[in-house]
């Protein structure tokens, strides 16, 4: 049972027990070795092979330290490591596994600087602490999750981003903050609200959502009246302020201190807590309204360091999102192919943000935590797009393995009554086909990783997909697309040789590589069959749109090799600010080697013979 969030000092470490700590370090080291080997940061040495397994040795910077394990090399350079086989040997003697020690033992090989190393170790340690908590208290089985509701599944997720090794740092939270605000630990909580003077604040909404309508939707009449009365009691003009919801942590740790002058001058006025209860999502700064699930998500600024970024929300950036998502939403709604596939986007319908002039005057870069401390973004609820008999699940759940070692995906497929191949085929039609269409037909690229996508299920069979985080991560890759003036910033100039990575890296290397591993390890499903299904999905789309053949050849998903994008290399280089360019992350990418494309063989087989 999950402990109450009002924990004592002793309860805050109750999950840090020897057996659990050993377990999570072993699981984490499996990921460390696999991802570092994938990115060519470390090079395991094959000693011999037996029964389809390779037996490997990985020497540390100090030759007296070696790691031994057995593994299978899957497609896309995925290292499927037998977790139980991992051993650490020091001068020939076995030692306990410890992720922090591993990072230190390989720091020269990894090229991690003395400046980055301590913070990176702290992030890894925090990731391990979170894993220990989840393996202690998140006890829902994979089978139970096949029947769970959306929020139960969201809270049950254990793995975080599949590529990043330090993916759960949340630097800034203390032990009690973790219990209150981490998605896997939190109970429902309320957001507090501030009034922000319009001389320093701005609001933006989609066409039919002025500010007055938004606050009337989000706040009940009594609360709205009480908030206005706070301003009236101070002799302030209610119409000169925008009301903005705030993450409680942000108020106590940042705003009440760093914006003290603004508060003293009544540029910011504390209004109080609104009554609606929210749960934090996997993205940690976004909240789902559990009091009224049909109401909008609320995304807030949160100045904690997590996975290479300070999770602020910049006023100027947030307030461009409604116009962007409205334009994207119209494109998607008007496309018959996307409607047929059940593909929808959750529009970010409104945003409000506040700029502190002191920080803005000395910090010119908008992409900094100091200029992103107070903003909020409202996103449509996924409940608004569901039909009777449908339910939703985060796509990240397809990679979930419960605390007992059982994977959710095979259980989900079994519960649907379909074969593995039939289920995967339907899933690909819901997920890959729409993204191919957006990319090739509309020149639009999303960021379609597991946490950003919600699957619509009927009887646990995929029938549609919902894309979110539109304003922050959408890009148009062609100048030929006519963009309104207020969304032109989403155009991204990418060299032709890198454009295919928008599909290949995000879908295949950063998600299907792991999905394939789950199917091989937990469902005994041959990986060749998985990649053939993926190839068939792409070919099916290409047959429907022969007019795009030039683009299919120019941005070829069946190329024999694809350049390898390396996310951990980014974080190891600068774990405080991985990407320097908000609107074009390609300018900061790290590449290492090439990936053999597992789909290339299938397109050759599918082509008619020349006679």
- 558 pLDDT higher than 60: yes
d(CA 505, CA 527): 18
pLDDT in tens, 235-294: 999 999 999 999 999 999 999 999 999 999 999 999 999 999 999 999 899 999 999 999
pLDDT band at 588 (very low <50, low <70, confident <90, very high): low
Q: How far is Cα 274 from Cα 277, in angstroms, rounded to an integer?
A: 8
- How confident is the model over 158-168, as a mean pLDDT? 91
| Cα three-residue angle 245-251-254, rounded to 5 degrees | 130
For the record, the structure tokens of 308 come out as: 């290479």
Phi, psi of 552 (to 5 degrees): -60, -35
pLDDT for the residue numbered 582: 53
Instruction: Kindly write down the DSSP assignment for every residue of 281-300, as one continuous string.
Output: -TTSSEEEESSSTTSPEEEE
The answer to whether residues 313 and 320 touch, using CB atoms and an 8 Å cutoff, is no
Q: What does the alpha-carbon distance between residue 421 and residue 430 come to, in Å, rounded to a whole number?
A: 14
**Residue 11 pLDDT greater than 90, yes or no:** no
Q: Catalogue all structural domains in the chain, each as residue range(s) with its CATH number.
A: 18-136 (3.30.310.280), 175-379 (no CATH), 391-596 (1.10.510.40)
CA 95 to chain centre: 34
CB 105 within 8 A of CB 33: no
pLDDT in tens, 479-504: 999 999 999 999 999 988 889 998 99
486-498 in b/e form (b: 16+ CB < 10 A) is ebebbbbebeeee
Separation of alpha carbons 50 and 126, rounded Å: 37
Secondary element (H or E) of residue 453: strand 453-458
Find residue 466's DSSP bridge partners: 344, 454
CA distance 75 to 64: 32
pLDDT over threshold 90, residue 88: yes
Pairing type for strands 343-345 and 461-467 reads parallel
pLDDT at 361: 58
41-50, 171-180, 437-446, 534-543: segment of lowest average pLDDT? 171-180
Q: What is the largest CA-CA distance in the chain?
A: 88
φ and ψ at residue 35, rounded to 5 degrees: -75, -40
Q: Which of 373, 320, 371 is nearest to 350 (CA)?
A: 320
pTM to 2 decimal places? 0.94
DSSP strand pairing (192-197 vs 241-246): antiparallel
Nearest-angstrom CA–CA distance, 601 and 205? 48
Q: What is the pLDDT of residue 484?
A: 94
Q: How far apart are CA 393 and CA 280, in angstroms?
A: 15
- Mean pLDDT score, 447-464: 95
Is the pLDDT at 87 greater than 80, yes or no? yes
């Amino acid at each position: 049972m999950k402990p109450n969030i009002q924990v004592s000092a002793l309860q805050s470490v109750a999950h840090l027990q020897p057996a659990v700590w050993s377990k999570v370090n072993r699981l984490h080291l499996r990921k460390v070795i696999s991802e570092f080997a994938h990115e060519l940061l470390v090079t395991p040495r094959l000693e011999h092979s037996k029964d389809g397994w390779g037996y490997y040795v990985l020497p540390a910077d100090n030759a007296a330290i070696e790691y031994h394990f057995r593994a299978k090399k899957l497609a896309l350079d995925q290292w499927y490591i037998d977790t139980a086989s991992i051993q650490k040997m020091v001068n020939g003697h076995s030692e306990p596994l410890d992720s922090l020690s591993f990072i230190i033992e390989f720091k020269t090989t990894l090229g991690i600087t003395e400046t980055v190393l301590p913070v990176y170790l702290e992030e890894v340690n925090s990731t391990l602490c979170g894993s220990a908590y989840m393996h202690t208290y998140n006890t829902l089985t994979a089978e139970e999750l096949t029947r769970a509701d959306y929020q139960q599944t969201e809270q049950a997720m254990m793995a975080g981003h599949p590529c990043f090794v330090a993916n759960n740092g949340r630097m800034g939270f203390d032990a009690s903050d973790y219990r209150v605000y981490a998605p896997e630990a939190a109970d429902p909580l309320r957001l507090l609200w501030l009034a922000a003077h319009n001389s320093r604040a701005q609001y933006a909404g989609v066409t039919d959502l002025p500010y007055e309508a938004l606050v009337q939707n989000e706040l009940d009449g009594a609360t709205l009246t009480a908030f206005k009365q706070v301003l009236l009691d101070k002799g302030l003009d209610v119409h000169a302020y925008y009301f903005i919801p705030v993450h409680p942590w942000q108020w106590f740790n940042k705003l009440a201190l760093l914006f003290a002058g603004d508060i003293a001058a009544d540029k910011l006025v504390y209004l109080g807590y609104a009554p609606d209860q929210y749960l934090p999502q996997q993205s940690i700064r976004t909240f789902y309204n559990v009091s009224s699930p049909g109401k909008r998500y609320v995304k807030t600024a949160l100045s904690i360091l997590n996975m290479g970024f300070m999770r602020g929300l910049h006023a100027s950036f947030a307030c461009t999102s409604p116009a962007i998502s409205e334009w994207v939403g119209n494109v998607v709604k008007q496309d018959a192919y996307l409607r047929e596939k059940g593909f929808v986007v959750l529009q970010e319908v409104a945003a409000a943000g506040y700029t502190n002039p002191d920080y803005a005057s000395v910090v010119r870069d908008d992409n900094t935590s100091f200029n992103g401390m107070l903003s909020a973004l409202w996103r449509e609820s996924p409940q608004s797009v569901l039909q009777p008999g449908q339910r939703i699940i985060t796509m990240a759940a397809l990679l979930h393995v419960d605390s007992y070692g059982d994977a959710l995906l095979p259980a989900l497929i079994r519960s649907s009554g379909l074969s593995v191949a039939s289920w995967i085929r339907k899933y690909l039609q819901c997920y890959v086909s729409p993204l191919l269409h957006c990319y090739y037909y509309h020149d639009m690229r999303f960021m379609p990783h597991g946490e950003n996508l919600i699957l619509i299920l009927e009887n646990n069979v995929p029938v549609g997909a919902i894309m979110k985080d539109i304003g922050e991560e959408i890009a148009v890759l062609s100048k030929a697309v006519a963009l309104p003036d207020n969304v032109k910033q989403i155009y991204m100039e990418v060299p032709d040789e890198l454009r295919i990575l928008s599909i290949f890296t995000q879908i295949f290397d950063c998600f299907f590589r792991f999905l394939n591993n789950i199917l091989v390890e937990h469902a005994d499903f041959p990986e060749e069959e998985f990649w053939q299904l993926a190839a068939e999905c792409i070919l099916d789309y290409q047959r429907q749109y022969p007019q795009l053949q030039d683009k299919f050849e120019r941005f070829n998903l069946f190329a024999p090799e694809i350049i390898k994008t390396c996310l951990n290399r980014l974080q190891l280089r600068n774990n405080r600010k991985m990407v320097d360019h908000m609107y074009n992350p390609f300018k900061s990418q790290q590449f290492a080697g090439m990936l053999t494309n597992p789909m290339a063989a299938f397109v050759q087989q599918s082509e008619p013979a020349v006679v």
